[in-house]
């Protein structure tokens, strides 16, 4: 194998690794007021009734069943939950996601309509 081919393979590997890179950010997490009839990944995707509904670009990059750590950035406890990506939210943005009430319960705020800031880590 020539040096040029080896260099090309290394470059390809680097770009492939970047495509699946970890992302971290903050969102407002809003609670579903009504459950959707269907979700993009199907009803076998949620874990114990928990999932995240994310914007189309994140769904396109990561797809179904990718695990997201959600941490409510409130001192002193910083409650955390781990949920799969299971749906596309048409009203979601990079700063706004949705989740069912059980996720809010796991974060310690089951009756809240929304939480901010919630850090996500994919």
Give the domains, in start order, of the chain with CATH numbers: 22-121 (2.40.40.10)
Burial class (CB in 10 A: 0-12, 13-18, 19+), 85: buried
Contact between residue 32 and residue 105 where contact means Cβ atoms under 8 Å apart = no
Helices and strands (H, E) in the chain, number of each type: 3, 6
Q: Rg of the chain's alpha carbons, rounded to an integer?
A: 17
Model pLDDT, residue 64: 98
> Is the CB of residue 53 less than 8 Å from the CB of residue 97?
yes
The string of pLDDT tens digits covering residues 76-108 is 899 999 999 999 999 999 999 999 999 999 999
């Amino acid at each position: 194998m020539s040096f040029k081919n080896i260099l090309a393979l290394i470059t390809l590997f680097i770009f492939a690794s970047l495509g699946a890179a970890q992302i971290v950010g903050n969102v407002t997490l809003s609670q579903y007021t009504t459950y959707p009839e269907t979700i993009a990944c199907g009803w076998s995707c949620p874990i114990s009734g928990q999932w995240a509904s994310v914007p189309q670009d994140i769904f396109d990059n990561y797809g179904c069943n990718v695990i997201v750590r959600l941490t409510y950035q409130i001192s002193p406890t910083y409650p955390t939950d781990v949920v799969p990506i299971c749906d596309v939210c048409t009203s979601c943005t990079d700063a706004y996601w949705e989740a069912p009430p059980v996720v809010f319960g796991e974060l310690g705020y089951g009756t809240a309509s929304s939480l901010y800031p919630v850090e996500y880590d994919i």
